Amino acid sequence: MKMHAGNGARLILVSLVVLTLVGLSQKSHAQGTGTIVGAVHDQVGAAMAGATITIKNAQTGVSRTVGTDANGYYTASELPTGQYEVEAQSRGFGTVVRTGINLLLAQTARVDFTLKVSQVEEKIVVSEDAPLVDTQSASLGNVEVSQRIEELPLNKRDFFQLAVLQPGVLPPYAGRGSIGTPQVSGALESQPQVNGLRESNNYTVLDGGFITDPYFNTATVVPNPDAIAEFKIQTNLTSVRYGRGGGAVINIVTKSGANQFHGGAYEFFRNKVFDARNYFFDKVPALNRHQFGVNVGGPIQKDKNFIFVSYEGLRQIRGEAINAVVPSVANRNGDFSSSPAGSIINPFTNLPFSGPLNFDPTLINPLAQKVLNLYPIPNTDSNGDGIVNDQDTLWSGAPIGRQQSDQGVVRWDDSLTLRQNIGARYVYQNQTALKNFQRFAFSGPISVPGFPTQDRSTTSNLTAWHILAGTQFTNDIRFTYQHNNVVFGRPKSGLGRLPFGFTFPQAGQTGLGDVFPQFGIGGYSSIGNADGDVFRVYQVYQFQDTVTYVHGKHNFTAGAEVNRFIMDSQAYFVRMGIYFSLGFFSFNPVADMLLGMPSFVSGALGDPARNFRSTGFNWFVEDSYRLHPRFTLTYGLRYEMQTAPTEVHNRLAAFSPENAAAGTISKLHPEAPAGMVFAGDPGFPRSVIATDKNNFAPRLSFAWDLTGKGTTSLRGGFGIFYDVAPIIPYADSSLNPPEFPLYFYTPDPFNPTTFANPITSNPDLPQNQADADKPGTTVLPFSSLFGPGIHNRSPYVKQWNLSLQRALTSDIGVTVAYVGNSATKLLGSVETNQPVFIPGQSTFANAQDRRPYPLLGLIYDHGTRFASNYNGLQISATKRMSHGVSFVSAYTWSKTIDYNSQAITYYHILGHPVFPQNSYDLKAERGLSSFDVPHRVVFSGTWNLPGPGKNANAVTRMLLGDWETNGIVSLNSGYPFTVVDSANPSTTGEYGPTDRPNLVGDPNAGPHTVASWFNTAAFQALPPSGGFGNAGRNIVRGPTLKAVDLSVFKNFNIQEKWKVQFRAEFFNLFNHPNFLPPVNDISSPTFGRITETSTDAREIQFGLKVSF
């Protein structure tokens, strides 16, 4: 294997950094919070009131003292997580100390004592861990500690992969489209789905502070694995402390300093030499990846003041294997002889083309053919004849992308007094991702390469906290500030629309330059890129105050939170323009493209600048009531209110069906059709959408220690959880008139000049560049509207569970749980102004006249009108480290039903329609969720291999001792998908393929091969203007997933406090090809064929890590 000089120098630097710190030792401890409770009895079982309990953090030396109440109970809440020793003493009794208590994040650990009468000073020390069985809370979820975070094989060192090791948790859908920030170190492109809910339902917390991006409702930035002490994903029935999401609470805690210095340095590197090739390629894509970092923590002042610092960098050049569906060479030249005779219509005669070509090449639009020739030439057999010729439509390649990221983490903790702690944590990250293609395609499969995009993101997050602690009362005050600066742009590609031959004006060209538009051909990959030049800066301020009070059998918690969200954006969505060719005129999308007859065109003109503001107010109260030594009842209430976003300059618009029905005209824009309303119109708030103020969320749960020994518990409960919808629907309003009107219409197909400049067909639009750069001032005829529904309310989820937990041994625990939820008012998109299908009378030409509101264009309503339901059996087994082995295994059997699995278009799942087939018949959309996976098994474990023994010589011990293996095994059913027809037989002219064909057989009875995954004969396309098909949504099941990841470590103990670790990590160890669902468009030439993998081929990563 070759190593560049720079790479070797970096490894040497890593070693030197560590060697300069010789003599410093010990790992960091966690600084999240947990609770220790327990009871003190004498030898005959009588409760001991007034006993003194001292709880000491073994790593910082900071201690807390509480007393037992009249019933012998004690509670110590808001304790930083980590290793503890707990001491119980009372006059006339011997002292008992329990050591090795590992308090985990959000855990309530029970530590009981039995004191014996003694007239002499006596201290009994017992070493034990916290119990495996939870007898205090009904919340479901496991904690991942730093050892597993750092040692399990994590591809790209994305520690969120550990979240999917729990029951009920699915990895992010591999076909996910555009969402979140670039997936580079420390950022998330998407998050897992939990218990049948969307990833946007999750809520992420870092050191107690909010780090969820309100724009996407995904995490903004998380520390690298070596800076994380532990994290917990709570999957069901969390405390009322947590809100803002009906899904999982993802709780992360950074490492902190301790009384002894600790830290390390590392480098992980990969290249293509040891990687396997993708299933669809004969070569291994280019790869050069280096991830490196250093961290150190220790005391500033022993037992009082501590600091932890971490840095990680990423440098990567990588080719990503893709398959694109492209027009055949024959089609590009006007040869459609492979199509059925008479299937392609001449739009000028309304008769089928005749002759051997099924087309007339003299009608080819030269500019349109020039665009088609930008597609790469097919190089892969697509029709199964074993050769590549001019009829094939598949192109395979591995376009190069680049990623770079730098992240720094600083944490400071100070024990001001015995009862006061203060601290702060700061995370900064700067990242860039250069991609040569986009996964968010407006029609058909993945976009072809050649039109690069560049994402740049700078994120910072600061959390400070101040805890006042007493024997019965604690007050936790936290302030969090996050700032994110995101740019989605494009480097110069050398291809502009003007030199190419297009003449239409483009929004922002004067300042942003000339950019090539996007073309979507039904059933084929798109080319170009309509979006880009998106500038978004947002800031979030959060203030929290949580009070805990212990009184008798009650542990009361109350708190309040105020947050302020500020987003300033200038999002030039679709400013480049989009041409959609769906076969409206010739009944063949490629033929329409050759003729220069787009089905419709879309673009935006003007200035999309927006400045959004929103404020949230939340409060909660909770009581954990110990009704009996073996039975705890927890009940509470949470209230949430997030104001509907306003815009600083009142640049918001929406559609009111009531105003449209009444014929009410806007006072601010009387030129607008009835139904359009604007911020400031009478009867509407500045936000246009009213704020939902009725969000009360009660929760009730119990935990029952069935044996009284802490070895078996029965737990259950019910709760309501509200969602805060992402800001995207409001950001979509930047496409609304008058300032930045988006046009969406069918240009004159018979005018040969409209392909070069379709705006000439619409004299109401700005016809020159100077006017296109200016913000609009009036509402144009047939304007389209985008944004939240006028009657939107807060989505909410009802959660429940019943679980039985049993400790089989002191190290092995098993949980069996029934878990369910029902979500209501989920966000989803419909076309409120969809043309109504009239049998025998519907054509594309009269689509506008068939709209319910014919004076308006598209009305994309992102409304809270959908629902989902989940039921699952979840079984897990956990073994703590003993005899060199630890593991966590999980099995889930579940079913998820919904009406729409995508919050809005930006959460696009490839192969799944964004909108309903018929927006007036939403009941027909009920079906399996797009992430319904009936069965999933996942196993993760660590095995410290046995050494050669004490009698072996030093060389043998060095070579054969201190080996360690870690592995993750994942097996699950395939995802469902929907078969669509981009030919649009309903003649609604909708965005993306939404129509479905008729079902005439069993679709899942297919051969299940790569060439033909399902029974394509089970579907029958409707004829042109034939209406909506009867096939259901998500009725076909895709391929299963099987994956094994393995890591092998060799540890060298240089000194007592030093360890050098060489690592080899194997991702997809057995190189098993896992596939995405097949092409699902019945109008595509590759219908039913699998063209992409869902996981990479086998990848091998090597690493060197030095720790102390």
Residue pLDDT, tens place only, 634-682: 999 999 999 999 999 999 999 999 999 999 999 999 999 999 999 999 9
Distance CA 374, CA 482 (A): 43
Q: What pLDDT does 459 receive?
A: 78
11-39 per-residue burial string, b: 16 or more CB within 10 A, e: under 16: beebeeebeebeebbbbbbbbbbbbbbbb
Q: What pLDDT does 1071 receive?
A: 96
Share of the chain above pLDDT 90, in %: 52
Q: What pLDDT does 211 receive?
A: 87
User: Tokens for 510?
Assistant: 């004067």
Which domains can be identified in the chain, with CATH numbers? 33-127 (2.60.40.1120)
Average pLDDT rounded to a whole number, residues 787-803: 95
Asked whether residue 440 carries a pLDDT value surpassing 70, the answer given is no
Instruction: Work out the number of other CB atoms within 10 angstroms of the CB of residue 808.
Output: 12
Provide the β-strand partners of residue 812.
879
Range with the lowest mean pLDDT among 39-48, 704-713, 732-741, 941-950?
A: 732-741
Q: What pLDDT does 910 receive?
A: 62
Helix (H, G, I), strand (E, B) or coil at 331: helix
Average pLDDT rounded to a whole number, residues 69-77: 88
Range with the lowest mean pLDDT among 100-109, 448-457, 952-961?
A: 448-457
Q: What pLDDT does 122 receive?
A: 65
Q: Which amino acid is at 443?
A: S
Q: Which amino acid is at 580?
A: F
**Closest C-alpha to 1108, from 1051, 1059, 1052, 1053:** 1059
* Residue-averaged pLDDT of the chain: 86
CA distances in angstroms from 774 to 446, 509, 744, 770, 782, listed in the order given: 34, 11, 19, 7, 20
Q: Which amino acid is at 870?
A: Y
> Is the separation of the CB atoms in 740 and 507 below 8 Å?
yes
Encode pLDDT of 732-783 as tens digits: 887 888 887 777 778 888 888 889 998 887 787 777 777 777 777 788 888 8
Asked whether residue 447 carries a pLDDT value surpassing 70, the answer given is no
Q: What is the DSSP letter of 500?
A: H
Q: What pLDDT does 510 receive?
A: 66
Phi, psi of 1058, rounded to the nearest 5 degrees: -120, 145
Task: Give the model's confidence band at 3: pLDDT under 50 very low, under 70 low, under 90 confident, else very high.
Answer: very low
> Is the separation of the CB atoms in 533 and 521 below 8 Å?
no
Helix (H, G, I), strand (E, B) or coil at 420: strand
Asked whether residue 450 carries a pLDDT value surpassing 70, the answer given is no
Average pLDDT rounded to a whole number, residues 336-352: 93
Helix (H, G, I), strand (E, B) or coil at 128: coil
Average pLDDT rounded to a whole number, residues 499-518: 79
Q: What pLDDT does 12 receive?
A: 32
Q: What pLDDT does 443 receive?
A: 41
Distance CA 825, CA 794 (A): 7
Encode pLDDT of 860-901 as tens digits: 899 999 999 999 999 999 999 889 999 999 999 999 999 999
Distance CA 287, CA 290 (A): 10
Share of the chain above pLDDT 70, in %: 90
Q: What pLDDT does 504 receive?
A: 84
User: Tokens for 1045?
Assistant: 């990841």
Average pLDDT rounded to a whole number, residues 1046-1063: 91
Q: What pLDDT does 836 receive?
A: 96
Phi, psi of 253, rounded to the nearest 5 degrees: -125, 130
Average pLDDT rounded to a whole number, residues 98-116: 88
Q: What pLDDT does 146 receive?
A: 82
Average pLDDT rounded to a whole number, residues 574-601: 89
Q: What is the DSSP letter of 234?
A: E
Q: What is the DSSP letter of 368?
A: H
Q: What pLDDT does 416 receive?
A: 82
Distance CA 983, CA 989 (A): 9
User: Tokens for 370?
Assistant: 């020039």
Give how far the C-alpha of residue 879 lies from the chain's centroid of Cα atoms, to the nearest Å: 29
Distance CA 406, CA 793 (A): 39
Which stretch, 154-158, 843-847, 1018-1022, has highest mean pLDDT? 1018-1022
Q: 939 CB contacts (<8 Å, ≥6 apart)?
A: 887, 888, 889, 890, 967, 968, 969
Average pLDDT rounded to a whole number, residues 354-360: 93
Encode pLDDT of 164-183 as tens digits: 999 999 987 765 433 322 23
Encode pLDDT of 248-288 as tens digits: 999 999 999 989 999 999 999 999 999 999 998 888 999 99
Q: What pLDDT does 442 receive?
A: 41
Task: Give the model's confidence band at 547: pLDDT under 50 very low, under 70 low, under 90 confident, else very high.
Answer: very high
Asked whether residue 372 carries a pLDDT value surpassing 90, the answer given is yes
Q: What pLDDT does 530 receive?
A: 72
